[in-house]
């Protein structure tokens, strides 16, 4: 028989447990007032439950267990499923604003570079899961609380969302490494072993670098650069006892990669109590603009640490005085000091003793395949 009462039906909706209470009342032939008498609850409470305006609480579930001979956990599970569905519905109502937030991130590029994005979610949910936050507002709070200090090159326009995505991927990759507690003395004593690795083929260095640094409490990871970041590397304290060095192949030569690695190690050793999170993009020189003026000193100190660790200053001064910068002389000098010849070329270029195009045959080229086995 047709009825003038129209009922809306949502196929994916989870009903309020009050609907089940009504089914049991109908089965027993009881009224809501009968249930109130049997359960000891007020008629108002029973009415609100049956009309979906009040929840089934644990005491109510225990009462219904006795009245309907159905366990309390059944009623509580019905309530839990309903509450979860309602929370998801309210979250879905926010999705238009969340989608606008998600569009600020380079999702297509992140997927192409195989970032750790969960599958089977909307763009916004995928990003929230990726960052480990519950909402765009909480993402903003977490990122701002990181107090990141970073440099910005004049050549590139950076976007905070892109930088945050790269940093987060570095953190996720770092979690996969077995890293000891930080040991400053062990890290310092490992520097010479690290610099001698500059003589190896570039595609052979990541495993020993990660092993050496992990033994001293530093997770070293290589993550492809995202556009609009200009990142060459970052140094971050993940915990009080674990540090992270993240690297990219922004400049695509071995000398820049090594300079950046030692630069970030310099931040960890020299600035632990001053800056816990630094993103760098100034591996080529010190002319890039520093967003935080206080960082100028720290950047200069980290760069000096890197340069002097890679090539002993006195040996470099003796070599420079000879003013003979041929490929052969550079190669011989590199043999003497125990570093790759590309390291020497890069240093001479930074000092202005070689033009940017000179000596590059002695550098090792780094290709995208270098990061394929992250």
Inform me whether the pLDDT recorded for 89 exceeds 90: no
- Per-residue pLDDT of 270-329, as tens digits, reads 998 777 788 887 544 444 555 556 777 888 899 999 999 999 999 999 999 988 899 999
Confidence of residue 370 (pLDDT cuts 50, 70, 90): low
Give the SS3 label for residue 220.
strand
Q: List Cβ<8 Å contacts ≥24 apart for 235-239.
A: 235/264, 235/265, 235/267, 235/268, 235/277, 235/278, 235/280, 236/167, 236/170, 236/171, 236/276, 236/277, 236/278, 237/268, 237/272, 237/276, 237/277, 238/171, 238/174
132 Rama sector, left if φ>0, alpha if ψ -120 to 50, beta otherwise: left
As a whole number, the mean pLDDT across the chain is 87
Report the distance separating Cα 364 and Cα 37, nearest Å. Answer: 85
**What pLDDT is attached to residue 368?**
56
Inform me whether the pLDDT recorded for 167 exceeds 70: yes
Inform me whether the pLDDT recorded for 131 exceeds 50: yes
Which range scores top for mean pLDDT: 149-163, 170-184, 240-254, 263-277? 170-184
Confidence of residue 39 (pLDDT cuts 50, 70, 90): very high
| Residue 333 neighbours by CB under 8 Å, 6+ apart | 315, 319, 344
Q: What does each C-alpha distance from 16 to 8, 72, 83, 297 come to in angstroms?
A: 14, 16, 8, 62
Question: Angle at the Cα of 279 (from 200 to 341), degrees rounded to 5?
Answer: 25
**What pLDDT is attached to residue 366?**
85
Average pLDDT over residues 191-214: 94
**What pLDDT is attached to residue 121?**
78
Inform me whether the pLDDT recorded for 3 exceeds 50: no
Average pLDDT over residues 73-89: 92
| Residue 236 neighbours by CB under 8 Å, 6+ apart | 167, 170, 171, 243, 244, 246, 276, 277, 278
């Amino acid at each position: 028989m047709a009825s003038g009462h129209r009922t809306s039906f949502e196929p994916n909706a989870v009903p309020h447990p009050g609907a089940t209470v009504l089914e049991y009342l109908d089965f027993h032939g009881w009224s809501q007032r009968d249930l109130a008498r049997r359960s000891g609850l007020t008629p108002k409470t029973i009415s609100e439950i049956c009309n979906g305006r009040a929840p089934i609480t644990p005491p109510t579930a225990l009462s219904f267990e006795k009245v309907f001979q159905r366990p309390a956990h059944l009623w509580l599970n019905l309530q839990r499923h309903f509450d979860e569905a309602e929370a998801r519905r309210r979250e879905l109502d926010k999705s238009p604003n969340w989608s606008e937030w998600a569009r600020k991130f380079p999702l297509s590029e992140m997927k192409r570079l195989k970032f750790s994005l969960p599958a089977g979610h909307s763009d916004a949910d995928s990003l929230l899961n990726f960052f480990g936050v519950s909402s765009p507002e909480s993402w903003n709070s977490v990122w701002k609380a990181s107090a990141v200090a970073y440099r910005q090159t004049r050549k590139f326009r950076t976007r905070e969302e892109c930088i945050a995505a790269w940093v987060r991927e570095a953190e996720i990759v770092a979690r996969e490494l077995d890293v000891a507690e930080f040991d400053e003395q062990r890290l310092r004593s490992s520097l010479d072993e690290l610099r001698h690795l500059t003589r190896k083929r570039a595609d052979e260095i990541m495993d020993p670098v990660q092993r050496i640094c992990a033994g001293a409490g530093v997770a070293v990871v290589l993550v492809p650069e995202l556009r609009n970041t200009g990142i060459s590397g970052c140094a971050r304290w993940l915990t009080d006892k674990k540090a992270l060095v993240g690297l990219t192949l922004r400049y695509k030569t071995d000398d820049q990669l090594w300079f950046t690695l030692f630069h970030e190690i310099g931040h960890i050793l020299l600035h632990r109590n001053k800056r816990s999170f630094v993103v760098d993009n100034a591996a080529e020189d010190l002319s890039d603009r520093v967003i935080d003026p206080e960082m100028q000193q720290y950047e200069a100190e980290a760069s000096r640490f890197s340069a002097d660790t890679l090539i002993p200053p006195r040996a470099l001064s003796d070599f420079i005085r000879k003013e003979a910068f041929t490929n052969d002389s550079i190669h011989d000098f590199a043999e003497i000091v125990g570093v790759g010849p590309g390291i020497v070329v890069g240093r001479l270029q930074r000092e202005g003793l070689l033009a940017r195009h000179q000596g590059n045959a002695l550098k090792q080229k780094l290709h995208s395949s270098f990061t394929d086995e992250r």
